[in-house]
């Protein structure tokens, strides 16, 4: 399997790059944010618990996210690989992902850390706010999400940085340019 972790600040383009990766490599896209928004739309108990946290820009507890992730992995073991988008967001989640995958003799093949400068992130998120309908794409919540990212999620990059799986990708220019960098990294692994 080709298992890709794609991480980066809110607005860094994880979802957009994941969509292109799905099209090109036929991988199963797992976005924990999308899964949570699906639960909210269904009005499930899990969704109701998550909604208040998401709307305030806080993370949903690891136990909830880890359980949700495990069910999706189990249901898609016939996939060519997974793209984990927005997961792991804490070091505990990163450890959990390694444990989960190793139970199926699988591992994270590559970790892509998408880098975008702060002003551009804010600009992209505020633009997205015009069309996304997301309650968390307003300036106060965006600022809080960026703080949570800095304090809790950035250490996830350090978790992978010590290994050859870690790669930084620059997304300060265009979607195409960012994808070209990713494509080159994947081509290197497939050699
Ligand atoms: P995203 O669509 O990835 O930006 O996620 C939207 C929101 O869902 C986040 O701000 C969190 O509140 C929640 N969320 C998504 N993924 C996770 C995760 N792996 N751990 C905790 N909370 C998450």
Q: What is 162-178 written as a DSSP string?
A: TSTTEEEEE-SS-HHHH
Q: CA-to-CA distance for 186 and 169, rounded, in angstroms?
A: 12
Q: What is the pLDDT of residue 30?
A: 97
Tell me whether strands 110-115 and 28-31 are parallel, antiparallel or unpaired: unpaired
Kindly report which listed range (46-55, 72-81, 120-129, 176-185) carries the lowest average pLDDT score. 120-129
Exposed/middle/buried for residue 30 (C-beta within 10 Å: 0-12, 13-18, 19+)? buried
Residue 136 CA, closest ligand 1 atom number: 10
Per-residue pLDDT, averaged over 22-44, amounts to 96
Q: Is pLDDT above 90 for 134?
A: no
Tokens 């699988």: give the residue.
Answer: 106
Instruction: Record the pTM.
Output: 0.94
Q: Is pLDDT above 80 for 127?
A: yes
Distance 188 CA to ligand 1 centre (A): 30
pLDDT in tens, 38-47: 999 999 999 9
pLDDT in tens, 84-123: 999 999 999 999 999 999 999 999 999 999 999 999 999 9
Sheet holding 110-115, edge to edge: 28-31, 82-85, 4-8, 110-115, 166-170
Q: Please, which pLDDT band fits residue 64 given cuts at 50, 70 and 90? A: very high
- Span between the terminal Cα atoms of the chain, in Å: 15
Distance 144 CA to ligand 1 centre (A): 13
Q: Is pLDDT above 80 for 142?
A: yes
Residue nearest atom 2 in ligand 1 by C-alpha distance: 33
Q: CA-to-CA distance for 9 and 13, rounded, in angstroms?
A: 9
Q: Please, which pLDDT band fits residue 132 given cuts at 50, 70 and 90? A: confident
Nearest CA among 19, 58, 18 for reference residue 36: 58
Question: What is the sign of the dihedral through the CA atoms of 20, 107, 171 and 31?
Answer: positive
- Tell me the average pLDDT of the chain: 94
Which of 15, 19, 36, 141 for a ligand 1 pocket mutation test, highest count of atoms within 8 Å of Cβ? Answer: 36
Q: Is pLDDT above 90 for 163?
A: no
CB atoms within 10 A of CB 78: 6
Q: Please, which pLDDT band fits residue 137 given cuts at 50, 70 and 90? A: confident
The distance from CA 104 to its chain's CA centroid, rounded to whole angstroms, is: 21
Residue 93 CA, closest ligand 1 atom number: 19
Q: Please, which pLDDT band fits residue 143 given cuts at 50, 70 and 90? A: very high
Q: CA-to-CA distance for 74 and 128, rounded, in angstroms?
A: 32
Distance 173 CA to ligand 1 centre (A): 25
Residues 30/85, Cβ–Cβ less than 8 Å: yes
Q: Is pLDDT above 80 for 191?
A: no
Distance 60 CA to ligand 1 centre (A): 7
Pocket (CB within 6 angstroms of ligand 1): 10, 32-33, 36, 53-54, 57-60, 65, 86-87, 89, 93, 136, 145
């Amino acid at each position: 399997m080709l298992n890709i972790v794609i991480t980066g600040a809110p607005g860094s383009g994880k979802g957009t790059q994941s969509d292109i990766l799905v099209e090109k490599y036929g991988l199963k896209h797992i976005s924990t944010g999308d899964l949570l928004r699906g639960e909210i739309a269904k009005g499930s108990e899990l969704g109701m618990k998550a909604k208040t946290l998401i709307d305030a820009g806080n993370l949903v507890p690891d136990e909830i996210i880890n359980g949700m992730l495990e069910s999706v992995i189990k249901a898609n073991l016939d996939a060519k690989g997974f793209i984990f988008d927005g997961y792991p967001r804490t070091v505990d989640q990163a450890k959990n992902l390694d444990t989960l995958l190793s139970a199926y003799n699988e591992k994270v093949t590559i970790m892509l850390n998408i880098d975008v400068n702060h002003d551009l992130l804010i600009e992209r998120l505020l633009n997205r706010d015009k069309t996304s309908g997301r309650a968390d794409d307003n300036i106060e919540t965006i600022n809080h999400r960026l703080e949570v990212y800095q304090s809790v999620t950035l250490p996830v990059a350090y978790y992978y940085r010590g290994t050859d799986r870690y790669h930084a990708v620059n997304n300060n220019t265009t979607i195409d340019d960012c994808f070209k960098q990713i494509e080159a990294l994947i081509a290197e692994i497939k050699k």
